[in-house]
A = this chain, B = another copy of it.
Amino acid sequence: MLILMDINATEEQVRNACRRVEEMGYRPHPLPGATRTAIGITGNKGAVEADALSQLPGVAEVIPVSKPYKLASRDVKPENTVIRFANSDATIGGEELAIMAGPCGVESRDQLFRSAEAVARSGARFLRGGAYKPRTSPYAFQGLGEEGLEILAGAREQFGLLVVTEAIDHISLALIEQYADIIQIGARNMQNFALLKLAGQTRKPVLLKRGMSATLEELLMAAEYIMSEGNYNVILCERGIRTFADHSRNTLDVGIIPAVKRLTHLPILVDPSHASGKRDNVAPLARAGVAAGADGLIVEVHCDPDRALSDGAQSLYPAQFDAMMQNLRGIASLVGRSVHAPQTAGAAR
């Protein structure tokens, strides 16, 4: 159920409508748009009595919503969600592509800082790097934990980057909320609904990776879990799905990008590194993603990939990343987007 306010409804009228919804035992989600505010209603088991609400001052219309996701739906919020940050003019979902780059895992201060410096110089605005690594094997490197988060925070200060890193449980989530700018939920946890709810209770944007065999609807429902807790800043991410094809680590489903754009207002990134699994195939997939309309990329770049503790084979050398960024500038401009300018050595922050 959705309340559409009048174009000239006052803030007081919006607050009043929300109060009525709460009194009825439901949860209101005010969603300001370009021309008017919509109020999503969740928490109802069956039909909501629309009549009482449609008579409130400032209410234009009360609309039943039939899709299983509501807050994520473009029906509810026609304008693209653009995510902004207090400490940076970078955006996600805006005109400038959001480029997130860095190593798979934080291995040491030296490794992270060298990698961060390189990606910042080439124009990345966001630094990726895992402090908690969900590894298939219990015997593989599991990440540096809070020490890794401290290193990430240090690199943020040094290079003026925003930090995105993965949470794997309630403990890591609480720490990441303190240290990082964006909380990543990995593909294997896309339907870890307990973790999604906790992420929804934070006030940091959440990067939600598509599960290996998740349909688009399941991805949007996972976003809805986060949003239904009141955190509307969700960034979707296509990182390849699992198919029979064996020439790449996963199969990048580039076709999800226009489908996402039609159904939801949330931004979507592409992860060409996990999709390809091979360094040399990252740039073609990155170009394809941008050409298809993605809002940005998350890419693995390592200062010394041959010595990486994880995902070395798919991590770009800094020079490869730099060349890829040059190439992307042209493609971005052809689809109405831009890429942040490369930074000269001394200029970062």
List residues of A whose CB falls within 8 A of some B CB.
42-45, 68-69, 134-139, 168-172, 188-189, 191-195, 197, 212-213, 215-216, 218, 221, 224-225, 228, 240-248, 251-259, 262, 275-276, 280-281, 284-285, 287-293, 327, 330-331, 334-335
Contacts and interface: CB of A to CB of B under 8 A. Distances in A.
A42 B138 contact: yes
A246 B228 CA distance: 25
16 contacts: A42-B138, A134-B193, A136-B191, A168-B193, A172-B194, A188-B192, A188-B193, A189-B191, A243-B243, A247-B256, A252-B254, A257-B284, A287-B335, A330-B330, A330-B334, A331-B331
Contacts of A240: 255
The 4 closest A-B pairs by CB, nearest first: A169-B194, A213-B213, A188-B191, A291-B291
Contacts of A197: 138
Residue from A134, A254, A293 with most neighbouring chain B CB atoms (10 Å): A254
A228 B253 CA distance: 34
A213 B218 CA distance: 14
Q: How many copies does the complex hold?
A: 4
Contacts of A134: 191, 193
A242 B251 CA distance: 11
Given A281-B258, A287-B292, A289-B288, A244 B193 contact: no
A221 B251 contact: no
A321 B43 CA distance: 35
Given A213-B242, A287-B335, A288-B291, 20 more contacts: A45-B139, A135-B193, A138-B193, A215-B244, A216-B245, A241-B251, A242-B244, A243-B243, A243-B251, A245-B253, A248-B255, A248-B259, A252-B253, A252-B254, A254-B284, A284-B293, A290-B291, A330-B330, A331-B331, A334-B334
Contacts of A290: 291
A193 B133 CA distance: 9
Contact of A258 (B168, B280, B293): B280
A138 B334 contact: no
Contacts of A192: 168, 188-189, 192, 195
A240 to B, nearest CB: 8
A176 to B, nearest CB: 13
Contact of A331 (B194, B224, B284, B291): B291
